[in-house]
Amino acid sequence: MENKQIIGLFVHNHPGVLLRVTSLISRRGFNIDSLTVSPAAVEGYSRMTIRISGDDNQVEQFINQMMKIVDVKNVEALPDDNSVASELILVKVKTDGQNNNDILAVTSKYHASLVNLGESSMTFRASGKPGEIDTLVSELREFGIMEMARTGIAALENGDNCLNKDKE
Amino acid sequence: MKLNGSEIIAECLLEQGVDTVFGYPGGAVLNIYDALYKYSDKITHILSAHEQGAAHAADGYARTTGKCGVVIATSGPGATNLITGIATAYMDSVPVVAITGNVTNDLLARDSFQEVDICGISMPVTKHNFIVKDVKDLANVIRKAFRIAMSGRKGPVLIDIPKDVTGALCEYEAVKPEPICNKLISDKADFEAAADIIRSCERPMIYMGGGIVSADAAAELIELAEKLDCPVASSVMGLGGFPQSHRLYIGTIGMHGGYETGKATDNCDLIITAGARFSDRVAGDREKFGKDAKIIQLDIDKAEINKNVKIDYCLLGDLKDTLRGLTEAVDKTERPEWIEQLSQWGKNGQVGETPESEDYAHPYHVIEAVRALTQDSDIIVTDVGQHQMWVSQKYRFEQPRTWCTSGGLGTMGYGLGAAVGSAVAHPEKRVVLFTGDGSFHMNLNELATVCSYDLNIKIIVLNNTVLGMVRQWQKLFYGRRFSQTDPHRKTDFAKLAEAFGVKGMRIHNDSDAEEVLGQAFADNKPVVIDCRISPDENVLPMIPPGKTVDDLITEME
């Protein structure tokens, strides 16, 4: 069954590690819709969060293939029902001088804060679950989105389990 | 002790037990070659005619010895010329360390003369690669590279070293390499569970691959097969991993495998796969492969599990360990009926013999005549195409590491380089290269290397003047439109050999084959035998791509 799965990678922060991961994704034909990289809690390591679309077998292959990259130290699928995932968006919405309140009515539902007011635009910052951000975007499309930037997903498993458990 | 980077490279190679390297000098590796000059009493360098040949030689050296092959090339074109050789080794999991020079650190990323991003280029065809920008990291990177190449599922590793690093001084201290010990992931309970599956089945077969050779697990496989009284089929890569004279051996499996192995695959109720990966040349139809069988897979690479074919149970770890663990857990069994059924299939599905001809020798006849002249321990190398499949079908392999062929990548032009590497590694053995006129034309420049080092290689060019394998597919699937496969080149390979300083001979037809081969094999000198075979000879039987043994082709016009 096709589903979306968030996967965490704990990797050596060596030059080229991002290329190694993305090159593998490309040549093995995996479908991803989000990839973020940031420093991990342990110095010298980075954490990647990747969301892939695929059936269970493809997710298993993805994890097994990633584990073969020498710089990748650990890979785990983050369980949907036991993880926290969040993403940040900056979005610039077109205004016509009449609809500011209508826009604010939408953005307030998502706790989006107004960070800039332009001549004919309003820029908001919001964060939340990837699905919530998706619905915020689709609601704002009705007013016209001039541009937007999303950070991609950051995710951690609930409880005490850590990707970098052997490295502390 | 303070050494320069190049001396550190030489010392680190010695740490790893390397006494032979293959390569080709150039501007960016001048320092390295200066060190090789100094270390020439400890490290033998074999100079190829082209870097691709050196890469294949390191590969052939590794396949036939079990040690890590080493190849050195300069920056830019030297490095890119290695790529086909590295990719060939990668597809067949052969351990090779490739060392390339690069321009100096301050010239990197400026499109300098002979600069290329070889790390970027080689990334998809290496297990790992490094660029060493600081001489302080050099020794440890080399040690790591060998460790990566030789551990787990083996494969090539590339180290790119800017020229200034090879000249810079650094403190060096020798480190003894720790023995490589692959972790056994499966435990006793796993072996018991696998044994339970085996107990519940009546008609098992073993499908073995190159992993058996790579893991040096041939003896362990024989024990399992004998205890289970279980027939064994081999992939092309697995040849030599199980003695073909053994009563349980049933043949190669896949596109040009036997009728017997195809029927066995379709009718068995259990496939035990050891060190093999269900490639499309074996499991043409992934859904129907072993459709009525449970599958147990033994491999060291977890990513091979459920990659191509859905399996029922896996045992992970070094094949030596998993085979031992499984053999211990299973019951001694006898299955006379199943074995008898298989030998019945063996008698059917025989391919018709081609009538004898004045103008041509028959490839099977030549291969069998060669077999009569070789020892079990002699090394057989091939290029890629029809001749490769004929040898895989007809030559009787008895020992591991006696077979060098590009199974995964299918690299035409692989053979001569690999034969050089095999012959350098085994001066005491005879090396036979079977090649085709198409493959041989690609990299015959290495005849210069064969002559320079006076290597005992018997080169048999099965010359049909056409690109036979592709032509066979055009016959079958493209309405006999022979697009660019009928070059009918006039090359006289015997004369060509003489020009390189190698003896040249000719086989005209079946009646002179034995005599010519007898003369050719009488000494320890290299020889090229131009052997005329019919352009219309086909490789049969054949399972068409994507199909099963039910669609087996046994006859063609």
CB-CB contact of A126 with A112 (8 Å): yes
Pull the structure tokens for residue B135: 């001489």
Nearest CA in chain A to B126: A69
Give the contacts of A119 (CB within 8 A, at least 6 positions apart): none
Where residue B30 falls (left for φ over 0; alpha for ψ -120 to 50; beta otherwise) is alpha
Q: What gap in Å lies between CA B541 and CA B351, rounded to an integer?
A: 7
Task: Identify the weakest region by mean pLDDT among B137-151, B282-296, B425-439, B514-528.
Answer: B282-296
Per CATH, the number for B363-539 is: 3.40.50.970
**Which pLDDT tens digit goes with each residue over B315-346?**
999 999 999 999 999 999 999 999 999 999 98
Q: What are phi and psi of B314, to 5 degrees?
A: -125, 150
CB-CB contact of B462 with B387 (8 Å): yes
Q: Provide, as residue numbers in chain A, all residues whose Cβ is less than 8 Å from the Cβ of B123.
A: 16, 19-20, 23
Binned at pLDDT 50, 70 and 90, residue B389 comes out as: very high
Pull the structure tokens for residue B212: 């058996």
Binned at pLDDT 50, 70 and 90, residue B557 comes out as: confident
Q: For A152, how many CA atoms within 13 A lie in the half-sphere containing its CB?
A: 16
Q: Provide, as residue numbers in chain A, all residues whose Cβ is less than 8 Å from the Cβ of B310.
A: 57
Mean pLDDT for B523-551 is 94
Q: Provide, as residue numbers in chain B, all residues whose Cβ is less than 8 Å from the Cβ of A65.
A: 303
From chain B residues 145-174, the ones with a CB under 8 A of any chain A CB are: 148
Mean pLDDT for B427-435 is 97
Mean pLDDT for B45-67 is 98
pLDDT at A2 over 80: no
Give the contacts of B228 (CB within 8 A, at least 6 positions apart): B198, B204, B330, B333
pLDDT at B352: 66
Q: Which of B38, B42, B113, B350 is catalytic?
A: B113
Q: How far is B160 from chain A (nearest CA, A)?
A: 14
Same fold, A3-77 and A84-155: yes
B493 is catalytic: no
pLDDT at B350 over 70: no
Length of chain A as a residue count: 168
pLDDT at A165: 73
Asked if B302 and A70 come within 8 Å (Cβ–Cβ), the reply is no
pLDDT at B426: 98
pLDDT at A167: 58
Answer whether B140 touches A (CB < 8 Å): no
Answer whether B133 touches A (CB < 8 Å): no
Q: Which of B127, B154, B163, B294 is catalytic?
A: B163
Q: What gap in Å lies between CA B82 and CA B54, rounded to an integer?
A: 8
Binned at pLDDT 50, 70 and 90, residue B230 comes out as: very high
CATH 3.30.310.80 describes domain A84-155: no
pLDDT at B351 over 80: no
Nearest to A60 among B119, B128, B306 (CB): B306
Asked if A57 and B306 come within 8 Å (Cβ–Cβ), the reply is yes
Nearest to B123 among A19, A57, A64 (CB): A19
Q: How crowded is residue A80: how many other Cβ atoms within 10 Å of its Cβ?
A: 11
B469 is catalytic: yes
Mean pLDDT for A16-41 is 95
Q: How far is B310 from chain A (nearest CA, A)?
A: 9
CATH 3.40.50.970 positions along chain B are 2-171, 363-539
Nearest to B124 among A16, A23, A68 (CB): A23
pLDDT at B50 over 70: yes
Q: Please give the span between the terminal C-alpha atoms of chain A, in angstroms, as a whole number.
A: 37
Dihedral sign, Cα of residue B30, residue B33, residue B39, residue B41: negative
pLDDT at A1 over 80: no
CB-CB contact of B503 with B526 (8 Å): yes
Binned at pLDDT 50, 70 and 90, residue B258 comes out as: confident
Q: Provide, as residue numbers in chain B, all residues whose Cβ is less than 8 Å from the Cβ of A60.
A: 306
pLDDT at B126 over 80: yes
Asked if A64 and B303 come within 8 Å (Cβ–Cβ), the reply is yes
**Which pLDDT tens digit goes with each residue over A12-23?**
999 899 999 999
Q: What gap in Å lies between CA B329 and CA A142, rounded to an integer?
A: 66
Q: Provide, as residue numbers in chain B, all residues whose Cβ is less than 8 Å from the Cβ of A71.
A: 128
Beta strands in B282-419 (DSSP E): 294-299, 313-316, 379-382, 403-404
C-alpha distance from residue B99 to each of B73, B142, B245 (Å): 6, 9, 41
Answer whether B119 touches A (CB < 8 Å): yes
Q: What are phi and psi of B119, to 5 degrees?
A: -65, -45
Answer whether B306 touches A (CB < 8 Å): yes
B42 is catalytic: no
Q: Provide, as residue numbers in chain A, all residues whose Cβ is less than 8 Å from the Cβ of B120.
A: 19
A vs B, Cβ pairs < 8 A, gives 28
Architecture of domain A3-77: 2-Layer Sandwich (3.30)
Q: Provide, as residue numbers in chain B, all residues whose Cβ is less than 8 Å from the Cβ of A57.
A: 306, 310
Nearest CA in chain B to A64: B303
Asked if A67 and B303 come within 8 Å (Cβ–Cβ), the reply is yes
Average pLDDT, chain B: 96
Q: Mind giving me the DSSP string for B421-453?
A: HHHHH-TTS-EEEEEEHHHHHHHGGGHHHHHHT
Q: Which of B469, B493, B521, B537 is catalytic?
A: B469
Instruction: Enumerate the domain spans of chain A.
Output: 3-77, 84-155
Q: Give CATH superfamily name and number for B188-347.
A: TPP-binding domain (3.40.50.1220)
Class of domain B2-171: alpha beta
Binned at pLDDT 50, 70 and 90, residue B348 comes out as: confident
Percent residues over pLDDT 90 in chain B: 94
Q: What burial class does residue B325 get, using C-beta atoms within 10 Å of its C-beta: 0-12 exposed, 13-18 middle, 19+ buried? A: buried
Parallel/antiparallel/unpaired status of strands B379-382 and B403-404: parallel
Strand partners, B461: B435, B530
Q: What gap in Å lies between CA B409 and CA B349, rounded to an integer?
A: 29
Q: Mind giving me the DSSP string for B48-77?
A: -SSHHHHHHHHHHHHHHHSSPEEEEE-STH
Binned at pLDDT 50, 70 and 90, residue B555 comes out as: confident
Asked if B302 and A61 come within 8 Å (Cβ–Cβ), the reply is no
Answer whether A20 touches B (CB < 8 Å): yes
Name the H helices within B268-362: 319-329, 336-347
Asked if A27 and B124 come within 8 Å (Cβ–Cβ), the reply is yes
The CA angle A56-A61-A63, to the nearest 5 degrees, is 95
Q: What gap in Å lies between CA A47 and CA B421, rounded to an integer?
A: 43
